[in-house]
C-alpha cells in the first residue's frame, strides 16, 4: 500500500466532511498562528536587545564615582571623590588586558558656527574613547595623545551637528565656538542612530578631556584638577568580563583606600549584563506567551482526537468492509493516522500563513519588534504533524483493532 494513495484516501475522506474538517482544523490553525506570532515577537525583542548590547560593546565596563545604588542615588554623584587621570594611569599599569581606557567628562553648551547656533552635548574624552564606545571616524582623524595632553582646541562632530550647524556642508577644518572658545573641527563621526531610550546619539561633540576641564566644564574641576568624570574601558575579548569586573572593583577599592566592609563609593557596571537583566522579564513574558500558544495547539490536538473518534465510530462499517476485503490492521491504523496528520498539516499551513501575516501587521502597525525566522515555521509544521500523530494515534489504533465481523454488523 503506497503512502501516496493513503494520503489521497485521507484527502477524499476530509473533503466529504469539508465543514467539519475545517472546524477541526481551526484549533490547529489558531494554535500554529499564535505560536508563530508569539515566537516572532519574542525573538524580535530579543534581537533588539542583542543589537543594543552590540552597540554598547559586550566587553565594555564603566566606572562611575558615587555609590552603585541605582534608585535615588543617595549622597549624589558628586559627593564621593571623583575619578582622576591618576586612576586611569594606574588601571592601565595594573591590568594588561585592557584594550582601551578613556575618561568621559560631559556637559551641555551652546555651539556657534557663523550665524548658526545649536546647544548640544559636549564630551571631553581620551583618544581611546572612539574605539571603546565603537564610534567610527567618517572624515578627518581622531585626536592625538599630544592634543589630549596639551588641551588642544580641536573637536570631532556628530552627524546631527553637521546637519543643524553646518546645514550638511563639509565641516572638517571649519572653526566653531563652544562657550566662546574657538575650536577647529578635525573629524566627523559616523551616524549611530538612536539609543535604546530613543535619544539621538549623534547630537554630540567630542573634545580632548583636558580642554574640557580647562575651558568648558569649569564647574567642579576646581578641587580636583585632573578629574575624568566616568571611565569607560574595554577588556580583551578572550577574558571573562565578569571576572575582570570583580578584579576591577577590588583594585578600585584599594586605590580609594576603602576599609574592608565599607560600602563602595564608586560603581563598576557591565552594561550588556545590565540590559540583559532589565529585559529578563520581557523574555520571560515571551516564553509565557509561547507556552500559551503551545497550549492552544494541544487544545487543537484534543479537538482532532475528538473528531477522529467520532469519525472512526461513524465509519465502523467502512472499516469492517476494508478489513473484509483484505486490509491489514496496519493499513487501517495508517489510514486514520494519515487522516489526522493531514488535517493537522493543512491546518498548520493556514496557521503559518495567518501567523506570518499577523506578524507582518504587528511589525507594520506597532512599535513591537518582530523577527520572523524560518526555522520556527518548520518547527510549527513539525509540531503540528506531531500533534496529529500523538492525538490521532488512539482513535486510529481503536479503528485498527476492530473485529471485521463486529464492524460489519455495526449499525
Partner 1 sequence: MGGEVIHALRDVSLKINKGEYVAVMGPSGSGKSTLMNLIGALDVPTSGDLVVNGLNLSGQESDTLADFRNLTVGFVFQQFNLLSRTSALENVKLPLFYARHLGSINAGERARKCLQQVGLSDRMHHDPTQLSGGQQQRVAIARALVNQPSVVLADEPTGALDTKTSVEILDLFQQLNDKGITLIVVTHDPEVAEVSRRNLLFRDGRLVDDVSMARR
Q: Which is nearer to partner 1, 278 or 328 (CB)?
A: 328
What gap in Å lies between CA 230 and CA 266, rounded to an integer? 10
Q: Collect all residues with Cβ–Cβ distance below 8 Å to 219 and sequence separation of at least 6.
A: 107
Question: Smallest Cα–Cα separation from 272: which of 206, 204, 194, 196?
Answer: 196
Closest distance of CB 325 from partner 1, Å: 4
Q: For the chain, how far is it from start to end, CA to CA, in angstroms?
A: 29
| Binding of partner 1 by 326 (CB under 8 A) | yes
Closest distance of CB 340 from partner 1, Å: 20
Other residues' Cβ atoms within 10 Å of the Cβ of residue 120: 20
Stretch that binds partner 1, among 31-39, 212-220, 247-255, 324-332 (CB under 8 A): 324-332
Stretch that binds partner 1, among 33-41, 226-234, 264-272, 400-408 (CB under 8 A): 400-408
Q: Taking CB under 8 A as the rule, which mask of x and - marks residues 12-41 in contact with partner 1?
A: x---x-------------------------
**Chain CA centroid to CA 177, Å:** 40
| Binding of partner 1 by 408 (CB under 8 A) | yes
What gap in Å lies between CA 318 and CA 327, rounded to an integer? 11
Binder among 237, 287, 295, 324 for partner 1 (CB under 8 A): 324
Closest distance of CB 326 from partner 1, Å: 2
| Binding of partner 1 by 327 (CB under 8 A) | yes
| Binding of partner 1 by 202 (CB under 8 A) | no
What gap in Å lies between CA 276 and CA 273, rounded to an integer? 5
Total residues contacting partner 1 (rule CB under 8 A)?
Answer: 22
Q: Which is nearer to partner 1, 140 or 404 (CB)?
A: 404
| Binding of partner 1 by 3 (CB under 8 A) | no
Closest distance of CB 321 from partner 1, Å: 5
Stretch that binds partner 1, among 115-123, 143-151, 161-169, 328-336 (CB under 8 A): 328-336
Binder among 328, 360, 361, 378 for partner 1 (CB under 8 A): 328
Q: Torsion angle, CA of 130/132/136/139, rounded to 10 degrees?
A: 20
| Binding of partner 1 by 404 (CB under 8 A) | yes
Site for partner 1 in 79-118 (CB under 8 A): none
Long-range contacts at 88-91 (CB < 8 A, ≥ 24 apart): 88/126, 88/228, 88/231, 90/251, 90/255, 91/231, 91/233, 91/248, 91/251
The H or E element spanning position 122 is strand 116-125
Q: Which is nearer to partner 1, 99 or 331 (CB)?
A: 331
What gap in Å lies between CA 265 and CA 334, rounded to an integer? 72
Closest distance of CB 317 from partner 1, Å: 7
Closest distance of CB 394 from partner 1, Å: 19
Closest distance of CB 409 from partner 1, Å: 10
Q: Which is nearer to partner 1, 17 or 58 (CB)?
A: 17
Q: Which is nearer to partner 1, 1 or 288 (CB)?
A: 1
What DSSP string describes 284-313? HHHHHHHHHHHHHHHHHHHHHHHHHHHHHH
Binder among 325, 364, 367, 375 for partner 1 (CB under 8 A): 325
Closest distance of CB 389 from partner 1, Å: 22
Q: Taking CB under 8 A as the rule, which mask of x and - marks residues 282-321 in contact with partner 1?
A: -----------------------------------xx-xx
- Asked if 167 and 84 count as a contact pair (C-beta separation under 8 A), the reply is no
Report the DSSP pairing between strands 181-189 and 175-178: antiparallel
Other residues' Cβ atoms within 10 Å of the Cβ of residue 298: 15
Q: Which is nearer to partner 1, 3 or 374 (CB)?
A: 3
Helices (H), 237-373: 241-255, 271-278, 280-314, 316-324, 329-365
Given the rule CB under 8 A, which residues bind partner 1? Answer: 1, 5, 12, 16, 317-318, 320-331, 403-405, 408
Amino acid at each position: 500500500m503506497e503512502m501516496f494513495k493513503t494520503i489521497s484516501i485521507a484527502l477524499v475522506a476530509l473533503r466529504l466532511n469539508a465543514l467539519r474538517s475545517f472546524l477541526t482544523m481551526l484549533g490547529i490553525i489558531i494554535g500554529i498562528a499564535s505560536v508563530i506570532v508569539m515566537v516572532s515577537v519574542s525573538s524580535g525583542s530579543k534581537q533588539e536587545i542583542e543589537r543594543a548590547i552590540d552597540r554598547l560593546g559586550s566587553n565594555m565596563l564603566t566606572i562611575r564615582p558615587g555609590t552603585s545604588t541605582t534608585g535615588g542615588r543617595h549622597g549624589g554623584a558628586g559627593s564621593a571623590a571623583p575619578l582622576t587621570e591618576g586612576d586611569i594611569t594606574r588601571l592601565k599599569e595594573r591590568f594588561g588586558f585592557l584594550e582601551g581606557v578613556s575618561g568621559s567628562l560631559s556637559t551641555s553648551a551652546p555651539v556657534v558656527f557663523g550665524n548658526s547656533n545649536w546647544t548640544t552635548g559636549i564630551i571631553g574624552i581620551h583618544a581611546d574613547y572612539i574605539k571603546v564606545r565603537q564610534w567610527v571616524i567618517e572624515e578627518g582623524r581622531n585626536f592625538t595623545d599630544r592634543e589630549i595632553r596639551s588641551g588642544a582646541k580641536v573637536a570631532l562632530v556628530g552627524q546631527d551637528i553637521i546637519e543643524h550647524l553646518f546645514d550638511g556642508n563639509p565641516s572638517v577644518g571649519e572653526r566653531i565656538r563652544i562657550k566662546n572658545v574657538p575650536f577647529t573641527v578635525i573629524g566627523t563621526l559616523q551616524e549611530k542612530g538612536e539609543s535604546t531610550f530613543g535619544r539621538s546619539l549623534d547630537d554630540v561633540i567630542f573634545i580632548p578631556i583636558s580642554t574640557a576641564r580647562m575651558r568648558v566644564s569649569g564647574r567642579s574641576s576646581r578641587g580636583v584638577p585632573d578629574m575624568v568624570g566616568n571611565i569607560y574601558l574595554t577588556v580583551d575579548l578572550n577574558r571573562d568580563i565578569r571576572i575582570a569586573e570583580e578584579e576591577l572593583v577590588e583594585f578600585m577599592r584599594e586605590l580609594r583606600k576603602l576599609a574592608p566592609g565599607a560600602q563602595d563609593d564608586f560603581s563598576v557596571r557591565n552594561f550588556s549584563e545590565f540590559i540583559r537583566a532589565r529585559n529578563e522579564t520581557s523574555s520571560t513574558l515571551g516564553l509565557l506567551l509561547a507556552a500559551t500558544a503551545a497550549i492552544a495547539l494541544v487544545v487543537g490536538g484534543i479537538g482532532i482526537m475528538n473528531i477522529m473518534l467520532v469519525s472512526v465510530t461513524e465509519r465502523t462499517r467502512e472499516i469492517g468492509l476494508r478489513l473484509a476485503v483484505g486490509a491489514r490492521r496496519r493499513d487501517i491504523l495508517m489510514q486514520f493516522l494519515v487522516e489526522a496528520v493531514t488535517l493537522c498539516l493543512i491546518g498548520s499551513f493556514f496557521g503559518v500563513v495567518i501567523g506570518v501575516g499577523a506578524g507582518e501587521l504587528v511589525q507594520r502597525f506597532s512599535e513591537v519588534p518582530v523577527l520572523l525566522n524560518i526555522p520556527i515555521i518548520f518547527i510549527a509544521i513539525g509540531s503540528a504533524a506531531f500533534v496529529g500523530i500523538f492525538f490521532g494515534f488512539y482513535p486510529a489504533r481503536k479503528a485498527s483493532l476492530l473485529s471485521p465481523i463486529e464492524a460489519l454488523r455495526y449499525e
